[in-house]
Structure 1
Amino acid sequence: MTLNSFALAGFACATLLSAAMASAQNGAVAPSAPIKNVVLVHGLFADGSSWQKVIPLLQAKGLHVTAVQNPTTSLDADVDAVRRTLAQQDGPTLLVAHSYGGMVISQAGDDPTVAGLVYIAARAPDAGEDYPALTRKFPAAPASAGLQWSADGYGKLSEQAFVQDFAGDLPVVEAETYYAVQQPVGKAITMAKTTVAAWRDKPSWYAVSSEDRTINPDLQRFMANRMHARTIVLKSSHVSLLSHSAEVAGLILQASGE
């Protein structure tokens, strides 16, 4: 090999190494092969139907998609529901979460079958972090004022808060439909802390909702930056998975390697 050949080979290796290091620092190393399994995890005040616009877009690309029905009674119960679903997957799996579901996948995402994590306007606490304390470092999101608790310890958003602050960029009739299937949240969730932050070890993606009135957009940006996630910003309410389903599906497809 000539001296010039050695120099060119060295330059090529250095370039590839630099690119790999940059990707790793961004937390978005592309999978070596496309991921075919996607598990979708809904947040609070919702159920699996909140993914109904995203699911057919993913299935049309040949992905095997499962939407978990979280009981939203406790973090442990929701993590168990996700782990049961992961056990049914055949091969590497992408975990995708909306809102509070981000806590769930941060905890359950240490499963060896999980190849990556996608957060959609989602919570992403560090291990042992007090999430309510973290939210207080940012201006309060308006939806929190509409949380109502029953005598038996279950919470729901008021109709006004749901339609205006949770799903504010949906047509009112559509928002009212999702309000009708709102799932109550157990009070234990408000005090729960994750013991794992899977995003510290797994490639991560994040979709920030810039018009969010449920989780402060600046808090979302902080969490996305902290995890070095590959990030997009959508001019959306909290429910971007419904109002910007094509863009959300596009991010999931990117994360899957499709």
Structure 2
Amino acid sequence: MAKVSNILFVHGAWANSSAWEKVLPLIGAAGLTGTAVSLSLTSLADDVATVKRAIALIDGPLLLVGHSYGGSVITEAGSDPKVAGLVYVAAFAPDVGESAGSLGAGGPPTRLLEVVRPDEHHFFKLTREGVDEVFAQDLTATERAMIFATQNPLAGAALGGEVTAPAWKEKPSWYLLASEDHTIHPELQKKMAARIGATTVTVEASHVAMLSQPDAVAKLIVQAAA
């Protein structure tokens, strides 16, 4: 893979583009140009379309970086010829016919289902307990309160969106495994990283590793870009 200088960041469930606010300055200091999209979290198809529009506006090759559910999005959107590689951050990496939801259900159990609440339209939000104990337990109380207050509800349909053309089968991949993740079990992360043949690093972090361990996340991205 040739060296790239453009990085496109894709957030996960219950988040927005600010999930990458600590990583963006670090990759900028390394000479890379970062762009962070904001997903609707309404369906996999909608979110893939958002990423493809962002890819079209970037000149030259790029890396896609996805967190959590965003891993499903970059897996499907990454077939674009501009995409040189994929970086997964505690993220789902589905194969054909798989979804974030099916992978999560098939892996070792976590407490996630205990700490999400649906509304009448089948959109789900995290409870405060979920943010504090399952999603972001290694962040400060102030940071956890901000995540709870600004979370973007996730449609059940998005979690169920099945991948049709996994880009990791054709593009090189990297995986940051969060060893203290209570949302996507670390053993499931390990299994997915091995299946896609990713260059893998492990950090002691909660599910939101890009916020609790931004230096490690940025380091992996810089290595992948080189």
The equivalences for 1:174-189 within 5 A come to 174-189=143-158
- Structure 1 residues 83-92 or 58-67, which shifts more? 58-67
Task: Give me the TM-score of the superposition, normalised by structure 1.
Answer: 0.85
Match of 1:173 among 136, 142, 151: 142
Larger Rg: 1
SS in structure 1 at match of 2:175 = strand
Residue 192 of structure 2 aligns with which residue?
Answer: 223
Deviations 1:47-97 (A, max 9, x none): 000100000001111211100000101101100000000000110000000
Residue 61 of structure 1 aligns with which residue?
Answer: 30
SS in structure 1 at match of 2:106 = coil
Does the alignment pair 1:202 with 2:194? no
Residue 252 of structure 1 aligns with which residue?
Answer: 221
Residue 96 of structure 2 aligns with which residue?
Answer: 127
Residue 109 of structure 2 aligns with which residue?
Answer: 140
Structure 2 contact 69–159 (Cα < 8 Å) conserved: no
Deviations 1:212-255 (A, max 9, x none): 00001000000000001000001110000000000000000000
Does the alignment pair 1:72 with 2:41? yes
Q: Distance in 2 between matches of 1:134 and 1:79?
A: 18
Deviations 1:20-70 (A, max 9, x none): xxxxxxxxxxx23x2011000000011000100000001111211100000
Q: How far has the Cα of 1:139 moved from its partner?
A: 2.3
Name the count of aligned residue pairs: 226
Does the alignment pair 1:96 with 2:65? yes
Identity across the alignment (%): 44
Q: Which runs of 4+ in 1 moved over 6 A?
A: none
Residue 16 of structure 1 aligns with which residue?
Answer: none
Q: Distance in 2 between matches of 1:114 and 1:160?
A: 38
Structure 2 contact 102–160 (Cα < 8 Å) conserved: no
Q: Distance in 1 between matches of 2:112 and 2:198?
A: 26
Flag structure 1 segments of 5+ consecutive residues without an equivalent. 1-30
SS in structure 2 at match of 1:62 = coil
